[in-house]
Amino acid sequence: MTLKFFRENFILLFIVNTILINNVMCQNKKVIAKAGGIEVTSDEFRLRYEFTPHPQKLDFNEIEKKKEFLYTLIAEKLLAEEAIRNGLNNEKEYLELLNYLREIYLRDALYLVEVKNKVVISDSLMNDGLKKIGKEYYIKFIFSTRSSEIDSIFTLLKNGADFDSLLINRPEAIEQPQIKKITFGEMHPSLENEIYYLLPGMITKPVRLSEGWYICKIYDLKKREILNHEDKSKVKRIISNREEEKLYMEFYRNFFKGVQVNADKEIFDHLVNALFSYINKNEAYFSKNSRFRFQLGEAEIKEIKSTLSTDLSKVFIKFDTDPITLDKFIINLMYGGINFNSSEFTHIKNVLNSKVRDYIQNQLLVREAIRREYFNLPEMKRDLQIWSDYYLSHILMKRIYLKSEVTDNEALEFYNKENQIVQLPDSVKIAQLLTKELDVIETILKKLSAGEKFTDICREYNYLNILGADNYISEYFPVSETDEIGKIASRLNVNEIYGPIKFNNGYLMVQLLDKKPGKKEKVGLFEEAREDIKSILRSKKMVDSLDTITSSLALKNGLVINEDEMKKLNLSDVNMIVLRRFGFGGQLLAVPYLKPHSSWYNLYLDRLKKDLP
């Protein structure tokens, strides 16, 4: 992989919060496309375009990329409206998923009001931070979990004992082969406040943190007299985060003070046994190199759910009003996931207990947000509408795909029509990695940025994948054979990396290693070509159906596109993965991944011309 490739095609990771999302959406809102009751505004187009990775098409200029994306966004909204007309918005799975998202956004709205928006940076805090940011301290530490031991060590040091002689025989010495450089914001404020007023050769008094007691020695100090804009921004960010943490802890203590909600012990034990049984039965199925030994997501929880013998409608979480059934809790587990580092029964029980406790706390936060009617906030309605359009359009597309069957007679007719010559699809060779955790994506992208090869990263993490448990590099396969992966690979340049995108039970990243163009081949016997022909026709049927439906909807709803307004948009074209972190925990892709679907537009133009007088 060349440096030039990285500069042009590397997908960056960007983490945003709600405030930044809202700032992006608060541009001058103009409608750039409208069809019936749906519209694409300039601010939504900007958000979706800039926060979505794009395949690097060499023959596409900026205007063409904008057009393709706009047509895809229009199609999503039209198909979502059609899904509603077909009653797909009443599907149980859709309602469960939207409710899960709604609760995340409700908690986030409460966090903004009670924590984020209350952050104030005083002049004294800012001035103190500016004094500290120009200092670099070089330190080592002695650590103990026992106050009597740390007091004894401190007495020895005060009486002239050598710090290094005491440290060298202690376990924490292994963590400190070299003197460590620290700057403002890199350690707990309590410890930082002790260090930042000392000179080289001095030691701190014992400082107690949650994990134990520390004594630090200053070996050297370097100062910078002149601060730049980046220094000042860093100080502001560090102080803001610290003040936010203080407000969060204050709210947490007050909000949950005296609150007690219990879970049904019998149902809890039943669920622990089901998890224990599943993990131990399927232990070989899980990757040994992942951050968590056992990662359970939607597919695994569904399977566990099917084995439960207890009534899912039973009350599991005993709220005084609107108690939570076992079924609702399991739905939350499906979409939120649960991870274990051991198959031991006690570990599984402890992790589930923590999950139940967190769920109860989250439900209390959600109920408070509902009481305050935060579900009526315009920004919440907007964000949920984006996700709703995405999921509804995909439910409809899945229905269309399942109906795209090809009979033997259709395949034979095609075979005879083409005089026994079959145009084979392109073949590709790829490396792929599938992870269930967005946090892992951050690690992967950092490794890529540091110059590591994607194939080496795949080997290191070796997650469950669609090519096989230990096979992260594929053989050559036709792009028509693996549906979404084949489509992605067909659009990439060799060595280009794409993703992550939401895929089945996780997030998928793909690198195209090589591509071979498909050839026209003379086939002697129909039986030899039947499955290849069916695959070609099935894909074509699905695309044709999708194009026909979308173009019909565009005609029926009087599609109007303001192309001039779209061209005026000055958009960032950095290929960027954007994660959105929510208040009180949780993160998602900032916007749904938009799979290219623009081929309907040419059919729409053809049909529009025919309808003109």
Q: In this predicted model, which residue has the larger pLDDT, 534 or 129?
A: 129
Domain-located, residue 293: no
pLDDT of residue 2: 29
Domain-located, residue 355: no
Residue after which a domain boundary falls, among 198, 225, 251: 251
Per-residue pLDDT, averaged over 505-514, amounts to 81
How does pLDDT run across 59-91, given as a tens digit for each residue? 557 788 889 999 999 999 999 999 999 999 999
- Same-domain status, 473 and 569: yes
Domain-located, residue 575: yes
Q: In this predicted model, which residue has the larger pLDDT, 493 or 148?
A: 148
Residue after which a domain boundary falls, among 233, 251, 269: 251
Which two tokens mark 462? 């070796």
Q: List the CATH number of the domain containing 143.
A: 3.10.50.40
| Cα 463–chain centre separation | 16
CB–CB of 496/488 below 8 Å? no
Q: In this predicted model, which residue has the larger pLDDT, 230 or 441?
A: 230
Smallest CA-to-CA distance from 430 within 347, 349, 486, 503 is with 486
Per-residue pLDDT, averaged over 371-388, amounts to 93
CB–CB of 586/366 below 8 Å? no
Domain-located, residue 456: yes
Q: In this predicted model, which residue has the larger pLDDT, 407 or 42?
A: 42
Residue after which a domain boundary falls, among 218, 251, 284: 251
- Same-domain status, 239 and 179: yes
- Same-domain status, 39 and 176: no
Give the domain range for residue 217.
123-251
User: Counting Cβ atoms within 10 Å, is residue 143 exposed (0-12), middle (13-18) or buried (19+)?
Assistant: buried
Domain-located, residue 312: no
- Same-domain status, 457 and 600: yes
How does pLDDT run across 210-249, given as a tens digit for each residue? 899 999 999 999 998 888 888 899 999 999 999 999 999 9
pLDDT of residue 23: 60
- Same-domain status, 425 and 504: yes
Domain-located, residue 346: no
> Which residues, 6+ apart, have CB-to-CB distance to 460 below 8 Å?
289
- Same-domain status, 474 and 595: yes
Q: What percentage of the chain exceeds 90 in pLDDT?
A: 51
- Same-domain status, 478 and 529: yes
Count of the separate structural domains present in the chain: 2
- Same-domain status, 31 and 129: no
pLDDT of residue 236: 93
Greatest mean pLDDT among 328-342, 423-437, 439-453 lies in: 328-342
- Same-domain status, 141 and 65: no
Q: Report whether pLDDT(4) > 70.
A: no
- Same-domain status, 163 and 47: no
- Same-domain status, 165 and 80: no
Domain-located, residue 77: yes
pLDDT of residue 586: 83
- Same-domain status, 444 and 579: yes
